Amino acid sequence: MSGIVTRNLTRVFTMRQEGRVRETLAVDALDLSVAPGELFGLLGVNGAGKTTTIKMLATLLEPTSGEAWVAGRSVTTEPRAVRANLGCLLPGERTLYWKLTARENLHFSGTLHGMPPQRLKQRVSEVLELVGLAGRGDERVEKFSSGMKQRLALARTILHEPPVLFFDEPTTGLDIHSARSLRTLIRNLAGAGRTVLLTTHNLQEAQDLCDRVGIIHRGRLVALDSPENLRRASSASDIVVLRFGPGPAPLRHVVAAVAGEAAVRVGLPAPEVSVAGDWADATASAAAEADGLEIAVKGRGAAGYAAELLVALRDRGLGVLGLETRRPGLEDVFVELTGHQAPASMDEVAAEGVDAG
Amino acid sequence: MNLAAGFRMVLALARKKLAQELAYKASLLMWFIFPFLFIAPYVYQARFFAGPGGEGVGAFTRLAGTDNYLGFIVVGATLWYWLTNLLWEIGFSIRDEQSMGTLEQLWLTPAPRWLLITGNAAANTVINTFMSLAVLGIAHLWFGLRLTADPGLLALACGLSWLALYGMGFFYSGLVMLLKEAEGVVRLGNEVVLALAGVTYPLAVLPGWAGVLGKAIPLSWALKVLRGILLEGRGWAALSGDLLVLALFAILTPAAGLACFGALERVTRRRGILGEY
């Protein structure tokens, strides 16, 4: 068995603050089963318990109670066997030896994983090639960019060909190209039969990459399914986004009125009209943007109501530049389940236009 | 893990450490100058106390059992220097990994953790041993130090001393990992050893209770045996009792050090502070 299983996995941190002992429940009775060959995403805001979970599974942190198995080995009674079957990419670029070359870093890690010298030499060349660093293998890591360091860290993670891989926030802080190539590598690794546990802030990344995701909130697993099933089961609404050309301020009120009337005609409750990206307050406010006025209409079944709305707007002489219907995304599910706005990096994803391929 | 793989791991750790050391050119300069700078003050201080015509040597001989005061001080200081460097290196290698952010990554490998400590200190042990030999060489060439030894006996005594002193290092590394502080831990340990192990004076000059504590430190026995071999030319029969005690330390200290390291490392993981600095 090369998957991951946790049973009641719990971690409590005890801290002394101003003379008082304070206990924080970081992971609360986590029950999880990741099948061999699955790419599983663990999502949550900062402090939700993702990294604590990874560290317990990687034997860097002792669970307070419960048990976990990685590749069929117990993290508490067989930690060395777990580590032998595991590749773990921790966050931060300081996990490499900067004064050593890329090749030296890989040789060092491979040797500590007990790889035979001949195989190690061959494998180092393979992984350097795989992460696009074949020509830079003999340069010191201190000369590398953040993206190159992260790719080298990934090469080290997969060097000894472990059946289980953990990636903790692998694309945080990377530029668009580095993030894309890293995602492609992760996808390929999962495709090659490795079990992958990925933690990320980046919901689009999880939606695009993962077979299943678990949403962890205050140490508890609050949702567990495929991104598609989570979206389908969500009570979040469909979304219609209309884009108009530049127009006078009253336009938004007119559109709001038209949208309301159109909704009544097709038997929908009055839609929420708001500026795109400001769904929470559900007001009819809007803002002029450089390319015109953008208004989103939100309501159950709104996708089917777009045509009715377009006709109504045309009848009032309001030309629409663009129309887009959208089903709820993982971000909407996340907000619904955790009560949090999507993590900050979501904005970065939107800005960089994540590779969805 | 087989023996060959374990050996390769130690070599890899030593090579990594050496490459890091050599990346800083000032270290090389220090290696060449340091042996003289280290031993000269001890020698001149010893000569000052002995007096220009050796008037003070008589009292020294009564307590130390040898009139070779230069050899006594040089062997003591050199071995203390060797141990200090070992403890410093073991303590700081863990701390360095913690500070660089590489300790967790190192701990993610299936290599036994005692081996990671040993390997990290291996390069330094080699450098350290050469430096110590350089100190003895300078003391011979510059200050006229005369030493005699049975090579086989000397090799055995050095091996036993190495094991006994390395054991102290395991305990140190666990303590540094837990406390996330190396300088204070190592400095305190070194000063205690310097005060109680008879590095620059015979244990006989210590108050009774301090002398008893001194005998509980492996370095005291290493010094006693090595001084017996190098200064007095004593053989197997004369040193058998002291060698036996040193051999016991060579077995017990690493075992106790490893047990302490394991317990302290577990506390560190339980508290979740392994990657913190």
CATH number at residue A260: 3.30.70
- Residue type (1 letter), A168: D
| A279 lies within 8 A of chain B by CB | no
Up-side HSE of residue B50: CA atoms within 13 Å toward CB? 19
Q: Are both A171 and A263 inside the same structural domain?
A: no
Judge if A120 and A264 occupy the same domain: no
Question: What is the structure's pLDDT at A296?
Answer: 56
- Pair (A150, A222) in one structural domain: yes
Asked whether A5 and A69 are in contact (CB, 8 A), the reply is yes
Calculate mean pLDDT across residues B195-224: 86
Q: Is residue B276 part of a domain?
A: no
Same domain, A203 and A274: no
Distance (Å) from the alpha carbon of B249 to chain A's nearest alpha carbon: 30
Is residue A67 within 8 A of residue A6, CB to CB? The reply is yes
Kindly give, in sequence order, each residue whose CB lies less than 8 Å from that of residue A348, ignoring residues fewer than 6 positions away: A202
pLDDT digits (tens, 9 = 90+) for A270-322: 666 654 433 233 333 344 443 434 555 555 566 667 777 778 878 877 777 77
Are the Cβ atoms of B266 and A107 closer than 8 angstroms?
no
For residues A169 and A304, membership in a common domain is answered with no
Contact A168, A41 (CB under 8 A): no
In B186-226, DSSP assigns E strands to none
List the single residue in A with minimal CA-CA distance to B2. Answer: A114
Q: What is the CATH number for A119?
A: 3.40.50.300
Q: For chain A, how many structural domains are there in total?
A: 2
Closest CA to A13 of B177, B267, B272, B266: B272
pLDDT of residue A76: 93
Higher-confidence residue of B273 and A108: namely A108
Question: What is the pLDDT at residue A299?
Answer: 55
Q: A320: which residues sit within 8 A by CB, 6+ positions away?
A: A242, A243, A244, A310, A313, A314
Indicate the range of A85-94, B12-21, B77-86, B250-259 predicted with least confidence: B77-86
Per-residue H/E/C for chain A:
CCCEEEEEEEEEEEEEECCEEEEEEEEEEEEEEECCCCEEEEECCCCCCHHHHHHHHCCCCCCCEEEEEECCEECCCCHHHHHHCEEEECCCHHHCCCCCEHHHHHHHHHHHCCCCHHHHHHHHHHHHHHCCCHHHCCCEHHHCCHHHHHHHHHHHHHCCCCCEEEEECCCCCCCHHHHHHHHHHHHHHHHCCCEEEEEECCHHHHHHHCCEEEEEECCEEEEEECHHHHHHHCCCCCEEEEEECCCCCCHHHHHHHHHHHHHHHCCCCCCEEECCCCHHHCCCCCCEECCEEEEEEECCCHHHHHHHHHHHHHHCCCCCCEEEEECCCHHHHHHHHHCCCCCCHHHHHHHHCCCCC
Q: Cα–Cα–Cα angle for A174, A175, A176, nearest 5°? A: 120
What is the interface size between A and B, counted as CB pairs within 8 Å?
A: 85
- Asked if residues B110 and A83 have their Cβ atoms less than 8 Å apart, the reply is yes
Q: Are strands A288-289 and A292-298 parallel, antiparallel or unpaired?
A: antiparallel
The rounded distance, in Å, linking the Cα atoms of A138 and A54 is 32
Residue type, B167: G
Answer whether residue A29 is part of any domain: yes
Please tell me the distance in Å from A98's CA to the nearest CA on chain B.
9
> Chain B within 8 Å of A58 (Cβ-Cβ)?
yes
Q: Touching check for A90 and chain B: CB below 8 Å?
A: yes
How confident is the model at residue B183, as a pLDDT?
74
* pLDDT attached to residue B173: 81
Question: For residue B233, is it within any domain?
Answer: yes
Contact call for A96 and B102, based on CB within 8 A: yes
Q: How far is the alpha carbon of A162 from chain B, nearest alpha carbon, in Å?
A: 11
pLDDT for position A344: 43
Query: How would residue B50 be classed by pLDDT, with cut points 50, 70 and 90?
Result: confident
Tell me whether residues B1 and A114 touch, CB distance under 8 A. Answer: yes
Return the DSSP state at B235: -
Angle at the Cα of A236 (from A231 to A238), degrees rounded to 5? 90
Pair A141, A247 in one domain: no
The candidate with the shortest Cα–Cα distance to B131, out of B246, B23, B33, is: B33
CB contact under 8 A, B104 and A81: no
Domain span including residue A302 = 239-327
Whether B101 and A94 lie within 8 Å, measured CB to CB: yes
- Give residue B42's identity as a one-letter amino acid code: Y
Residue A353 lies in a domain: no
Domain that holds residue B173: 3-271
Residue B177 lies in a domain: yes
Residue A47, φ and ψ in degrees, nearest 5:
85, 5
- Residues A171 and A29 both lie in one domain: yes
Q: B14: which chain A residues are within 8 Å (Cβ-Cβ)?
A: none
Nearest neighbour of B108 by CB, restricted to A58, A81, A100: A58
| Residues A152, A210 share a domain | yes
Regions of chain A with pLDDT less than 50: 248-250, 275-293, 344-357
d(CA A163, CA A187): 14
Between B147 and B263, the higher pLDDT residue: B263
Q: Indicate whether A27 belongs to any domain.
A: yes
Predicted confidence (pLDDT) at residue B124 exceeds the cutoff of 90? no
Say yes or no for a CB contact (<8 Å) between B104 and A114.
Answer: no
Q: How far apart are CA A199 and CA A172, in angstroms?
A: 11
Q: What is the pLDDT of residue A275?
A: 47
pLDDT at A141: 95
Same domain, A137 and A247: no
* Residue in this structure with the two tokens 């993590």, named with its chain if needed: A343
Residues of B in contact with A60 (CB under 8 A): 104, 107-108, 269, 274-275
Asked, for residue A215, whether it belongs to a domain, the answer is yes
| Residues in B lying within 8 Å of A, measured between beta carbons | 1, 5, 8-9, 11-13, 15-16, 19-20, 23, 100-102, 104-112, 116, 266, 269-272, 274-275
- In this structure, the number of other CB atoms found within 10 A of the CB of residue B137 comes to 12
Mean of all residue pLDDT scores within chain B? 84
Residues of B in contact with A81 (CB under 8 A): 110
Cβ neighbours of A97 in B, within 8 Å: 16, 20, 100, 102
- Residue B218: both structure tokens together: 């492996």
In a domain, B162, yes or no: yes
Residue of A nearest to B266 (CA): A62
Phi and psi torsions of B170, nearest 5°: -60, -45
* Residues of chain A contacting B106 with CB distance shorter than 8 Å: 112
Strand A86-89 relative to strand A164-168, pairing: parallel
Under an 8 A CB cutoff, do B108 and A88 touch?
A: yes
In a domain, A311, yes or no: yes
Residue B235 carries which side chain, given as an amino acid letter?
A: G
- Count other C-beta atoms under 10 Å from residue B119's C-beta: 25
Clarify whether residues A42 and A158 are in a common domain. yes
Q: Which residues of A touch B110 (CB under 8 A)?
A: 80-81, 83-84, 112-114
The string over A195-212, giving b where at least 16 C-beta atoms fall within 10 Å of a residue's C-beta and e elsewhere, is bbbbbbbbbbbbbbbbeb
Q: Do B272 and A55 touch (CB under 8 A)?
A: yes
Nearest C-alpha of chain A: how many angstroms from B131?
Answer: 24
Q: How far is CA B259 from the centre of its chain?
A: 20
Tell me, yes or no, whether A346 lies in a domain: no
Same domain, yes or no, for A63 and A194? Answer: yes
A80/B110 Cβ within 8 A: yes
What is the average per-residue pLDDT within B42-54? 84
For residue A94, list chain B residues with Cβ-Cβ distance below 8 A: 100-102
The answer to the question of residue B186 being in a domain is yes
Backbone angles phi, psi at A240, to 5 degrees: -120, 130
A109 in reach of chain B (CB within 8 A): yes
Say yes or no: A117 and A204 in one domain: yes
Q: SS3 for A89-141, per residue?
A: ECCCHHHCCCCCEHHHHHHHHHHHCCCCHHHHHHHHHHHHHHCCCHHHCCCEH
Q: What is the domain count for chain B?
A: 1
Alpha-carbon separation of residue B115 from A236, B44, B88, B158 (angstroms): 54, 41, 17, 21
Dihedral angle computed from the Cα positions of residues B172, B178, B179 and B181, in that order, rounded to the nearest 10 degrees = 60
Closest CA of chain B from A352, distance in Å: 29
The answer to whether the CB atoms of A114 and B110 lie below 8 A apart is yes
Query: What was the pLDDT predicted at A214?
Result: 94
Interface test with B, best of A13, A60, A149 (most B CBs within 10 A): A60
pLDDT in tens, B162-188: 888 888 888 888 888 777 776 777 788
Place of tokens 């075992």: B255
Contact status of A61 with chain B (Cβ, < 8 Å)? yes
Query: Which of A152, A143, A195, A145 minimizes the C-alpha distance to A170?
Result: A152
Nearest Cα residue to B265 out of B88, B104, B99: B104
